[in-house]
Amino acid sequence: MRKTPVLALIGSLILAILSVLIVSAQDATPAPTATPPFGNRNIQLFVEFDQKFATLHCPDGSPAGAFCLTVTGTTTSPTFGDLSLERTLVADISGEHDEFGGAAITSNGTLTDSDGDTLEFALRGALYLREGAADYRYIITGGTGKFDGAQGHGVVTIPPPTSNSIGTEIWLGSLRLKP
Protein backbone atom coordinates (compact mmCIF):
# COMPACT_ATOMS: atom_id res chain seq x y z
CA MET A 1 0.00 0.00 0.00
CA ARG A 2 2.81 2.38 0.67
CA LYS A 3 4.28 1.73 -2.78
CA THR A 4 1.55 3.66 -4.61
CA PRO A 5 2.16 7.07 -2.89
CA VAL A 6 5.93 6.59 -3.23
CA LEU A 7 5.60 5.74 -6.93
CA ALA A 8 3.31 8.75 -7.43
CA LEU A 9 5.84 10.99 -5.67
CA ILE A 10 8.71 9.60 -7.79
CA GLY A 11 6.63 10.05 -10.97
CA SER A 12 5.85 13.67 -10.01
CA LEU A 13 9.54 14.35 -9.30
CA ILE A 14 10.57 12.87 -12.67
CA LEU A 15 7.98 15.01 -14.47
CA ALA A 16 9.15 18.12 -12.60
CA ILE A 17 12.81 17.39 -13.46
CA LEU A 18 11.93 16.78 -17.12
CA SER A 19 9.95 20.05 -17.24
CA VAL A 20 12.93 21.97 -15.83
CA LEU A 21 15.28 20.30 -18.32
CA ILE A 22 12.99 21.06 -21.28
CA VAL A 23 12.55 24.72 -20.27
CA SER A 24 16.32 25.05 -19.69
CA ALA A 25 17.06 23.53 -23.08
CA GLN A 26 14.64 25.96 -24.74
CA ASP A 27 16.26 28.91 -22.98
CA ALA A 28 19.72 27.68 -24.03
CA THR A 29 18.72 27.56 -27.71
CA PRO A 30 20.11 30.66 -29.37
CA ALA A 31 17.52 33.01 -30.81
CA PRO A 32 17.33 32.86 -34.57
CA THR A 33 19.32 35.63 -36.22
CA ALA A 34 18.31 37.54 -39.29
CA THR A 35 19.67 36.04 -42.46
CA PRO A 36 22.11 38.42 -44.10
CA PRO A 37 20.62 39.68 -47.36
CA PHE A 38 23.15 37.85 -49.49
CA GLY A 39 22.82 34.65 -47.46
CA ASN A 40 19.32 34.42 -48.92
CA ARG A 41 20.02 33.92 -52.60
CA ASN A 42 16.53 35.10 -53.69
CA ILE A 43 16.15 38.78 -52.92
CA GLN A 44 13.27 41.16 -53.54
CA LEU A 45 14.51 44.19 -55.41
CA PHE A 46 12.61 47.32 -54.38
CA VAL A 47 14.42 50.63 -54.77
CA GLU A 48 13.56 54.20 -55.68
CA PHE A 49 16.26 56.19 -57.43
CA ASP A 50 16.60 59.96 -57.54
CA GLN A 51 17.44 60.35 -61.21
CA LYS A 52 18.98 62.95 -63.46
CA PHE A 53 18.75 62.81 -67.21
CA ALA A 54 20.09 64.70 -70.18
CA THR A 55 19.72 64.45 -73.94
CA LEU A 56 22.32 62.42 -75.73
CA HIS A 57 23.41 61.93 -79.33
CA CYS A 58 21.76 58.60 -80.16
CA PRO A 59 24.08 55.61 -80.55
CA ASP A 60 24.71 54.08 -83.96
CA GLY A 61 21.93 51.71 -84.97
CA SER A 62 19.18 53.74 -83.24
CA PRO A 63 15.90 54.12 -85.19
CA ALA A 64 15.70 57.17 -87.46
CA GLY A 65 14.22 60.09 -85.52
CA ALA A 66 14.91 58.46 -82.13
CA PHE A 67 15.18 60.54 -78.98
CA CYS A 68 17.97 59.51 -76.58
CA LEU A 69 18.84 60.27 -72.97
CA THR A 70 21.60 59.43 -70.56
CA VAL A 71 20.15 58.63 -67.13
CA THR A 72 21.97 58.53 -63.78
CA GLY A 73 20.57 57.98 -60.33
CA THR A 74 21.36 57.26 -56.70
CA THR A 75 19.61 55.66 -53.77
CA THR A 76 20.28 53.99 -50.44
CA SER A 77 18.70 50.57 -49.97
CA PRO A 78 18.41 48.60 -46.71
CA THR A 79 19.45 45.48 -48.64
CA PHE A 80 22.18 46.83 -50.92
CA GLY A 81 23.37 50.03 -49.24
CA ASP A 82 24.33 52.85 -51.62
CA LEU A 83 23.46 52.14 -55.25
CA SER A 84 24.12 54.16 -58.36
CA LEU A 85 22.39 53.82 -61.71
CA GLU A 86 23.76 54.58 -65.18
CA ARG A 87 21.90 53.85 -68.38
CA THR A 88 21.21 55.03 -71.91
CA LEU A 89 17.63 55.35 -73.15
CA VAL A 90 16.57 55.16 -76.81
CA ALA A 91 12.97 56.19 -77.56
CA ASP A 92 11.53 55.49 -80.99
CA ILE A 93 9.23 58.53 -80.93
CA SER A 94 8.71 58.58 -84.70
CA GLY A 95 7.61 54.93 -84.79
CA GLU A 96 4.28 53.38 -83.91
CA HIS A 97 2.83 54.05 -80.47
CA ASP A 98 0.96 51.55 -78.31
CA GLU A 99 -2.78 51.82 -77.57
CA PHE A 100 -2.02 54.23 -74.70
CA GLY A 101 0.17 56.55 -76.81
CA GLY A 102 3.46 55.11 -75.56
CA ALA A 103 6.54 55.18 -77.79
CA ALA A 104 8.75 52.08 -77.72
CA ILE A 105 11.85 52.56 -75.58
CA THR A 106 14.90 50.47 -74.81
CA SER A 107 17.55 51.09 -72.22
CA ASN A 108 20.66 49.28 -71.06
CA GLY A 109 22.91 50.03 -68.13
CA THR A 110 24.33 49.12 -64.76
CA LEU A 111 23.50 49.33 -61.09
CA THR A 112 26.66 49.68 -58.96
CA ASP A 113 26.93 49.20 -55.20
CA SER A 114 29.41 50.93 -52.87
CA ASP A 115 31.87 48.01 -53.28
CA GLY A 116 31.95 48.56 -57.05
CA ASP A 117 30.03 45.34 -57.78
CA THR A 118 27.62 45.76 -60.69
CA LEU A 119 24.34 44.42 -62.03
CA GLU A 120 23.88 44.78 -65.78
CA PHE A 121 20.34 45.12 -67.10
CA ALA A 122 18.20 45.65 -70.18
CA LEU A 123 14.89 47.52 -70.12
CA ARG A 124 12.06 47.45 -72.66
CA GLY A 125 8.91 49.50 -72.37
CA ALA A 126 6.95 52.59 -73.34
CA LEU A 127 7.53 56.32 -72.94
CA TYR A 128 4.38 58.43 -72.62
CA LEU A 129 5.47 61.71 -74.18
CA ARG A 130 2.51 63.81 -73.05
CA GLU A 131 3.07 62.94 -69.37
CA GLY A 132 6.81 62.34 -69.48
CA ALA A 133 6.25 59.03 -67.68
CA ALA A 134 7.53 55.58 -68.64
CA ASP A 135 6.95 51.94 -67.76
CA TYR A 136 9.52 49.22 -68.37
CA ARG A 137 10.13 45.56 -67.84
CA TYR A 138 13.70 44.78 -66.88
CA ILE A 139 15.87 41.71 -67.02
CA ILE A 140 19.23 41.29 -65.30
CA THR A 141 21.75 40.32 -67.97
CA GLY A 142 24.88 39.85 -65.84
CA GLY A 143 26.91 41.09 -62.93
CA THR A 144 30.30 41.34 -61.27
CA GLY A 145 31.58 40.63 -57.76
CA LYS A 146 28.80 39.47 -55.42
CA PHE A 147 26.41 39.86 -58.38
CA ASP A 148 28.38 37.53 -60.69
CA GLY A 149 25.89 35.16 -62.33
CA ALA A 150 22.89 37.10 -61.02
CA GLN A 151 19.50 36.72 -62.67
CA GLY A 152 16.33 38.68 -62.19
CA HIS A 153 13.43 40.53 -63.68
CA GLY A 154 10.72 42.98 -62.78
CA VAL A 155 9.27 46.37 -63.59
CA VAL A 156 10.51 49.94 -63.51
CA THR A 157 8.01 52.78 -63.17
CA ILE A 158 9.01 56.34 -63.94
CA PRO A 159 6.46 58.96 -62.91
CA PRO A 160 6.42 62.37 -64.62
CA PRO A 161 9.66 64.25 -63.85
CA THR A 162 9.88 67.04 -61.30
CA SER A 163 11.81 69.21 -63.80
CA ASN A 164 13.33 69.00 -67.27
CA SER A 165 16.27 67.03 -65.89
CA ILE A 166 15.26 65.51 -62.52
CA GLY A 167 12.89 62.69 -61.64
CA THR A 168 12.57 59.32 -59.91
CA GLU A 169 12.39 55.73 -60.98
CA ILE A 170 11.03 52.85 -58.94
CA TRP A 171 12.33 49.29 -59.41
CA LEU A 172 10.28 46.33 -58.20
CA GLY A 173 11.19 42.74 -58.93
CA SER A 174 13.38 39.85 -57.95
CA LEU A 175 17.07 39.11 -57.93
CA ARG A 176 18.54 35.63 -57.74
CA LEU A 177 22.20 35.35 -56.82
CA LYS A 178 24.41 32.42 -57.61
CA PRO A 179 24.72 30.13 -54.55
Residue 103 sits in a domain of what CATH number? 2.40.350.10
Q: Is residue 79 one of the residues assigned to a domain?
A: yes
Q: Is residue 32 one of the residues assigned to a domain?
A: no
Q: Do the strands 151-158 and 166-176 form a parallel or antiparallel pair, or are they unpaired?
A: antiparallel
Q: Do the strands 133-143 and 151-158 form a parallel or antiparallel pair, or are they unpaired?
A: antiparallel
Q: Is residue 31 one of the residues assigned to a domain?
A: no
Overall domain count for the chain:
1
Give residue 6's pLDDT: 40
Give residue 144's pLDDT: 96
Mean pLDDT score, 100-128: 94
Domain residues for 71?
Answer: 42-176
Residue with more model confidence, 16 or 47:
47
Residue 97 burial (C-beta neighbours within 10 Å; 0-12, 13-18, 19+): middle
CA distance 170 to 135: 10
Q: Is residue 84 one of the residues assigned to a domain?
A: yes
Mean pLDDT score, 95-115: 90
Q: Is residue 128 one of the residues assigned to a domain?
A: yes
Mean pLDDT score, 98-109: 89
Q: Do the strands 118-128 and 133-143 form a parallel or antiparallel pair, or are they unpaired?
A: antiparallel
Q: Is residue 12 one of the residues assigned to a domain?
A: no
Overall size of the chain counted in residues: 179
Give residue 101's pLDDT: 84
DSSP string, 4-55: HHHHHHHHHHHHHHHHHHHHHHHHHSPPPPPPPTTTSSEEEEEEEEEEEEEE
Residue 105 · residue 136 · CB < 8 Å:
yes
Range ranked top by mean pLDDT from 2-11, 34-43, 105-114: 105-114
Mean pLDDT score, 84-103: 89
Give residue 39's pLDDT: 55
pLDDT band at 40 (very low <50, low <70, confident <90, very high): low
Average pLDDT, the chain: 81
Q: Is residue 77 one of the residues assigned to a domain?
A: yes
Give residue 157's pLDDT: 96
Q: Is residue 27 one of the residues assigned to a domain?
A: no
Among the listed residues 69, 63, 157, the one whose alpha carbon sits nearest the alpha carbon of residue 108: 69
